[in-house]
Amino acid sequence: MNWKRIKILSTSVMLLSSSFFFIVGSTHSKASGNAVFTLHNPDVIMENTLLNPFVSNTDIKILGDSITAGVGSTGYKLTSTKLGNTGYFVATEESGSWANLLKKDLESRYNKSLLVHPLDPRIITTKSRLENKDTNAKLKMSAFTKGVNSWKLSFAGTEFKVYFTKQSGSGIVGIYIDGKKVGVYDLYSAKTENGFEVQIAGLQDSNHNIEIKTEGKNKDSVSDRVYIEAFEFKKSVSIKNWGVSGRDSEWLLANFNTLIQPNDDIIMIQIGTNDRIDFTSPEALKLHLKSIIDKCVSLKKEVILLSANPTSQSDDDTTKETRKFTMRDVDMTIKQVAKEYGIKHISNYDAFLRYSEATGETIDALLADGLHPNDTGYKIMYKNVMRHLDISL
């Protein structure tokens, strides 16, 4: 999906649907042409994509090692689905890994249509909008303007709906997509009719400019007002857990071209556990991560960096020949990389420590084998990720 920038008018807007509310901030989409692409913090990424009704599709790819794949969780096993051309296979979606918990939650919540209030400040009108309370309307009201007017908004997707109120004082409207008229609708009716639906579909999956223009009135209508009850946009989110047991940051970089697909919008990366075995210091992890991020930026893809949980004391013992540095070193290295790019990382390392301090549970009680989390540990990670994405549980 090729995104373009979507203009906004406020930094805090309430969006309504039949089942839940969103508070979102500035909208953003993939820049086009030679525009500079800038990474954002995890919560802002969600505001700009998943929580933004004007962006229809959000595809999230999760990359990492066994702690991303879900080793140690109930039900973990590999499927027969190939992971690109890497020679490895995708882990089951049925296990209790943090990535699977995130996938199930977000996909169940956000694969649906959203109703957007016609008074949303990101919808631009040439005249002031007034509210007309109407308990029979989609959102218990409609918005209208006096005199000739146009309503303008932008969205990224292939289809949308507009709901009008037809009544004795309604005019005629023309609907334009990217400057081209696609329909004319006479909204006059001697008897009030709520929820008159106009659907525009079959558009190219890209950014579009919508304009609804007042274009006169029926001779029987008493005015040319246009009463809009709501806009409706279909949301779609897809999350792929492509964690692979035993892999390190060098492997991610070497397989970048097959791991990152054109439709991926957000890349979540939690890596470094096996770097402790494969490299003598965290410096290799840092260099590989920076190269991966630079490649993502060049493709205009958002990046969310995560660090994994602490392990048992014996696993972090740097006197063991198989461990060159600790999980704390991994956490600090990823934090440093994130800081260099001006973004925050999600530390599951810190989340385990906070949970242990608050509950009195030992770190080992959250692990299945001294390294991989058990179901309780994975739930802690899932909740921590959701908190940093600024999405309520």
Can you give the pTM of this predicted structure? 0.87
* pLDDT tens for the chain, residues 1 to 393: 333 333 222 223 333 333 322 323 333 333 344 568 999 999 999 999 999 999 999 999 999 999 999 999 999 999 999 999 999 999 999 999 999 999 999 999 999 999 999 999 999 999 989 999 999 999 999 999 888 889 999 999 999 999 999 999 999 999 999 999 999 999 999 999 999 999 999 999 999 999 999 999 999 999 999 999 999 999 999 999 999 999 999 999 999 999 999 999 999 999 999 999 999 999 999 999 999 999 999 999 999 999 999 998 666 555 567 789 999 999 999 999 999 999 999 999 999 999 999 999 999 999 999 999 999 999 999 999 999 999 998
Taking alpha carbons only, the member of 65, 371, 386 closest to residue 244 is 65
pLDDT value at position 315?
61
**In this structure, are residues 99 and 218 in contact, taking their beta carbons and an 8 Å threshold?**
no
pLDDT value at position 319?
55
Cα–Cα distance, 176 to 153 (Å, whole number):
11
Cα–Cα distance, 97 to 109 (Å, whole number):
18
| Token code pair at residue 224 | 């040319």
**In this structure, are residues 233 and 157 in contact, taking their beta carbons and an 8 Å threshold?**
yes
pLDDT value at position 148?
83
Q: At what angle do helices 375-388 and 348-359 cross, to 10 degrees?
A: 110
In angstroms, the first-to-last Cα distance of the chain is 28
Domains in the chain with CATH codes: 44-111+237-388 (3.40.50.1110), 113-234 (2.60.120.260)
Helix (H/G/I), strand (E/B), else coil: 206: strand
Place of tokens 């807007």: 13
What are the beta bridge partners of residue 156? Answer: 55, 207
What are the beta bridge partners of residue 177? Answer: 180, 210
Cα–Cα distance, 204 to 159 (Å, whole number):
9
Residue type, 291: S
Tally of CB atoms within 10 A around 10: 11
Cα–Cα distance, 81 to 79 (Å, whole number):
5
> Dihedral (C-alpha) 333, 337, 340, 343: value to the nearest 10 degrees?
-110
Cα–Cα distance, 227 to 327 (Å, whole number):
59
**In this structure, are residues 312 and 373 in contact, taking their beta carbons and an 8 Å threshold?**
no
